Structure 1
Amino acid sequence: MAELTQAAAMITVHEFHGFGHPAMAEEVRRKVPSLKKIYTYEDVRRMMEEKPNPSLNLLHIDADDIFTLCWTSGTEAQPKGCPLSHNNWRCQAAIALASGMQPSDVMLTAGPLVNMASVGTVYVPWLRFGGTVVLHHPFDPQLLLKQMVQERIQYTLLVPAVVNMILKHPAAQGVDLSSIRVITVGSAPPSLWSMQEFKKRWNVDIGNIWGQNEGTALVSGVEEVPDMAIRVDHLPRYGAPGVEWATSMARFVQTKVVDPDGTELTENGAVGELLYRGPNVIPGYFRRPDLNAQAFDADGYFRTGDLFQIAQGRYLKFFERAKDIIIRGGYNISAQEVENVLLGHPAVQDVAAVGMPDENLGERTCVYVVPKPGQTVTLEDLTGYMKDQGVATYKLPERLELVEAIPRNPVGKILKKELRRDIRDKLGVSP
């Protein structure tokens, strides 16, 4: 990152969990000639107490200058820099209001301030509209619940695994979460079970948000999609002909769904890659012109790499990341659908589904499951439960791997690549 950005300075913590970060920074400085200054947070606090240099007033900041440079989380590839300007963020903050947050809210961010999840749904809206931000990192479930209660949190963004953990954690029973008005779930769609449970126990509404560091954002909040059964997996189809949304900025955003040849799909039920265009999207990856030709189409739409299905004309249903689709004998299985159903199983704490190689069908579904403490889980338990939920037979998992934890990156996304490699190794199949 230092080499790509030609960074002039680095700010870091003096020590964390026994690791000396300044020493690491010095090592980077020896390799990157542009890196001249290294500061710790103690240095920054000291500077804040000093009289500012008058020459700083001569610096010109333009609304189209880069405000943040977030990096893709890299579950499948090397991270890429996503530069967003002040103007980009002004638009993005307005779109975030569709989640149900309100100016002056007390907002909690449960993840690190490194990407769209926390920066885009909590930090920048706080800068734009005011309120209070409560930080939480590294993740501690009991501390998270304590903060929600003591700080009287009104809005937060969580990932599905944390939402389900709260519902199944013994410490959450009887906890007063009455201050919370809305929770937005990101990184993957929530399960209907979790939405119903939060509403029943605490009268808390859960919204559904899909977004990327590149600036794309579809927000399914209570105002936009009041029906919970629809909100669980439907997102606004911004730019759909004749459709209006409560979110004011939505009128400036356009989406389209295309087939592998780039032909736009418009009929209900059609599945294709989502392309997205709007004033909240990066103009291109930072100093990577080699990537931009493939990242945008001829009309300036960003290729998201995610598959969506057109529903009822006005909605988009997240189908899957293209590489996470399990193709069993020609039938497409959404790993996310399998995971969301199984998260409702009373003995399942966490779950991930991946395709495993099969000579006859191409792929079959393997699920990695973390059982709740003191519970036992069998494949027959899981398939029986899914059948009771009305899931089609071809979508049922055909192998179970019991694990202590699902591997995730620092922002909560499941590292499917590791799981696919693990099951290939166990089957003795080469990549």
Structure 2
Amino acid sequence: MDPPGLPNDFMFQRLVNIANNHVKRDYNTLIDYQADCYANHAKLLADVLELQSILFRKLSRGSRKALNSAEHVVILLSAPAGYEWLVSFLTILSLGAVVSPISTEIKEAEMAELSKETNAAAIVLGSLSPLNANKLASSLECPVIAVNEWLLAQPSTPPKQFQTNPKHVLDEESAGYLLFTSGSTSRPKGVLHSRNTFTTVLSGLMSTGILSEQDTIIYTFASNLASGIVYCLYTLLAGAKIEFSAGVWSPEWMWERIREGRATVVVDQPSRYKEMADFYWNELSFRSEQEKNAYLNGLRHFRWPAVSGSQPTEAFRAGWNSIPGATHLINSYGMTEVSGITGLPPTGEDPSDKCTGYLLPGVEANLEDGELGELLVHTPNMFMGYFNRPDLTKMAFDENGFFRTGDFFERRGAKYYFHGRVNVDVINIQGRLVFAADVEAQILSLPYVQDVYVVPISQMGTAEKMVAAIIRPSVGTASNFHVTVDQLRRDLKDLGLEEYQMPVAIQLTDPDIPLPMGTGGKKGKAQAIKKYFPSEWETSLEREKA
């Protein structure tokens, strides 16, 4: 049984067309700084075909037979976002298997358990994966493939002409992607998407013409995030350049890319934009006019600064907009389960931190309480279900087939405004709603506060909720510093907060240790509650199990 070659579908047909234009060109469209790797689409597809041959031979006879029968064949992938990750991702897809990119923070024992839960046919590891291939292989029956050992040992040479295999036609409705949720407020869940989901999303993006071959995207995402995968594949299909920044990103490094005039597109978490703004005002703004203008001139090419992973606060947005000539941050909102939901184009219109824009084409939405409440959506790109969890899949939808996002929104006219997660960011105090972000903004304005998470905790012996705050004091605060709840409440009263909005309990953290963060720049409130209010965590965990 021979490897199938490149499938005859939308994505690979497009890649073949671009690669054939790159065969004889000394032209790099893919740069991986951490791996010191430079390639173009032709080299990429040549490596995909090489790795496909290796991976296909490594699969068990049963797995190869299942691929031919269009059954679910899951292959796990652990690698930081970069060239090896991209080769591996496309290789798994080209076989007709279900590709499941896993967080690089996972440990060997967790990966072994996940392999058993998903009945993985193989595990593919990049050279920069923290997992040890030999150690992992010793505890599993499925093969573990270290990508770099094969690609370095057998360098590929692009053929004179690439082509798809007309007989290798995959069912677009079959499963193609197994992506895990961030787990920012609950346990991560495996989200199963059909191949058609990504085909629809990518073809829709291609039709917008946002990107062209003249663009360069600085790719900053973790390798397991759905939004990052979409942006990467879209850039690839547009023939634009991708510069992978894993392992090398810093605000100084990013500003150098901007100064060179190469970076035109970035999609990143809000905190990165704040770091860049701080670096400009603390470093670049003090340099000579000529040197400073070199950076600002480069910034004029930076036409698509988009936010993903979490919503930017007003302070983050103001910091970025204070840079002369900076393009307004582009906000959007989506979920792993249903893809994009809302978006706000870069027109400068209503750039507030809570506005995520208008519904995207084909998206239907309801709010449980009319104009305010949990957002329920139906999109053209709904997921197939949670992997091996039909119970959770059923609970995720209302009686009309709308997906429960778990996010609290407000609708004003045709625009949608995000207020946070229902279970940790919106606190019902005797019928009055407290939005954690509003309280956090006021607490952050206090001179002794560096960072804060406002969270709900239970009133002793009742189901009633109370407001609590986990405060990271400002750096340089005396070691014996201690703020009381009464002092905090007095300060917040002076700032205009109502009594019901004020925290009734606080926990102070180490000023030198950041508050927990989730993937994609999301606040790690679940981890923070677990650490600083453990009894509340145990209660919520029991509810989740039920």
Q: TM-score, normalization: structure 1? A: 0.77
Q: Does residue 338 of structure 1 match 2:444?
A: no
Specify which of 103, 125, 138 is matched with residue 12 of structure 1.
125
For residue 323 of structure 2, what is the aligned residue in structure 1?
201
For residue 21 of structure 1, what is the aligned residue in structure 2?
132
Specify which of 167, 192, 197 is matched with residue 83 of structure 1.
192
Q: Does residue 218 of structure 1 match 2:341?
A: yes
Alpha-carbon displacement from aligned partner over 1:229-269 (angstroms, at most 9, x marks no partner): 4xx2123453xxxxxxxxxxx332111112xxxxxx43xxx
Task: Output the amino acid matched with 2:400.
Answer: D
Provide closer, same or farther for how the CA distance between residues 47 and 257 of structure 1 changes in structure 2, counting only shifts above 3 A. Answer: farther
Alpha-carbon displacement from aligned partner over 1:59-98 (angstroms, at most 9, x marks no partner): 3223334443211122344322223334312433467689
- 1:422: Cα distance to partner? 3.1
SS in structure 1 at match of 2:438: helix
For residue 320 of structure 1, what is the aligned residue in structure 2?
420
Q: Does residue 40 of structure 1 match 2:144?
A: no
Q: CA RMSD in A?
A: 3.8
Q: Does residue 409 of structure 1 match 2:518?
A: yes
Task: Output the amino acid matched with 2:339.
Answer: T
C-alpha separation in 2, matches of 1:172 and 1:362: 45
Specify which of 235, 239, 244 is matched with residue 130 of structure 1.
239
Q: How does 1:366-385 map to 2 (within 5 A)?
A: 366-369=469-472, 371=474, 373-374=475-476
Provide closer, same or farther for how the CA distance between residues 97 and 370 of structure 1 changes in structure 2, counting only shifts above 3 A. Answer: farther
Provide closer, same or farther for how the CA distance between residues 255 and 62 of structure 1 changes in structure 2, counting only shifts above 3 A. Answer: same
- 1:126: Cα distance to partner? 0.9
- 1:189: Cα distance to partner? 1.9
Is the Cα–Cα contact under 8 Å of residues 530 and 536 in structure 2 kept in the other structure?
A: no
Task: Output the amino acid matched with 2:355.
Answer: H
- 1:351: Cα distance to partner? 3.2
Rg larger in structure: 2
For residue 396 of structure 2, what is the aligned residue in structure 1?
295
Specify which of 394, 411, 414 is matched with residue 500 of structure 2.
394
C-alpha separation in 2, matches of 1:98 and 1:396: 48
C-alpha separation in 1, matches of 2:123 and 2:334: 28
- 1:38: Cα distance to partner? 2.4
Is the Cα–Cα contact under 8 Å of residues 352 and 368 in structure 1 kept in the other structure?
A: yes
C-alpha separation in 2, matches of 1:349 and 1:98: 44
Provide closer, same or farther for how the CA distance between residues 89 and 341 of structure 1 changes in structure 2, counting only shifts above 3 A. Answer: farther
- 1:384: Cα distance to partner? 8.0
C-alpha separation in 1, matches of 2:427 and 2:234: 37
Is the Cα–Cα contact under 8 Å of residues 308 and 520 in structure 2 kept in the other structure?
A: no
- Structure 1: gaps (5+ residues): 239-249, 259-264
For residue 374 of structure 2, what is the aligned residue in structure 1?
273
For residue 247 of structure 1, what is the aligned residue in structure 2?
none
Is the Cα–Cα contact under 8 Å of residues 329 and 346 in structure 2 kept in the other structure?
A: no
Task: Output the amino acid matched with 1:127.
Answer: L
For residue 311 of structure 2, what is the aligned residue in structure 1?
189
Provide closer, same or farther for how the CA distance between residues 420 and 150 of structure 1 changes in structure 2, counting only shifts above 3 A. Answer: same
Alpha-carbon displacement from aligned partner over 1:93-144 (angstroms, at most 9, x marks no partner): 4676899953343112323121123213x21221333312222224645444
Q: How does 1:103-182 map to 2 (within 5 A)?
A: 103-104=212-213, 105-120=215-230, 122-138=231-247, 140-150=250-260, 152-169=262-279, 173-174=284-285, 176=295, 178=299, 179-182=301-304
SS in structure 2 at match of 1:112: coil
C-alpha separation in 1, matches of 2:236 and 2:354: 30
- Structure 2: gaps (5+ residues): 1-113, 286-291, 540-546
Is the Cα–Cα contact under 8 Å of residues 457 and 536 in structure 2 kept in the other structure?
A: no
Provide closer, same or farther for how the CA distance between residues 97 and 43 of structure 1 changes in structure 2, counting only shifts above 3 A. Answer: same
C-alpha separation in 1, matches of 2:491 and 2:276: 22
- 1:308: Cα distance to partner? 1.4
Provide closer, same or farther for how the CA distance between residues 15 and 102 of structure 1 changes in structure 2, counting only shifts above 3 A. Answer: closer
Between Structure 1 and Structure 2, the one with more strand by share is 1
Is the Cα–Cα contact under 8 Å of residues 234 and 316 in structure 1 kept in the other structure?
A: yes
Q: Does residue 70 of structure 1 match 2:179?
A: yes
Is the Cα–Cα contact under 8 Å of residues 507 and 532 in structure 2 kept in the other structure?
A: no
Provide closer, same or farther for how the CA distance between residues 38 and 319 of structure 1 changes in structure 2, counting only shifts above 3 A. Answer: same
C-alpha separation in 2, matches of 1:96 and 1:387: 48
Task: Output the amino acid matched with 2:197.
Answer: N
Specify which of 113, 116, 130 is matched with residue 3 of structure 1.
116
Q: Does residue 421 of structure 1 match 2:421?
A: no
Aligned residue-pair number: 399
- 1:366: Cα distance to partner? 0.7
Specify which of 464, 468, 485 is matched with residue 365 of structure 1.
468
Q: Does residue 228 of structure 1 match 2:351?
A: yes
Is the Cα–Cα contact under 8 Å of residues 454 and 467 in structure 2 kept in the other structure?
A: no
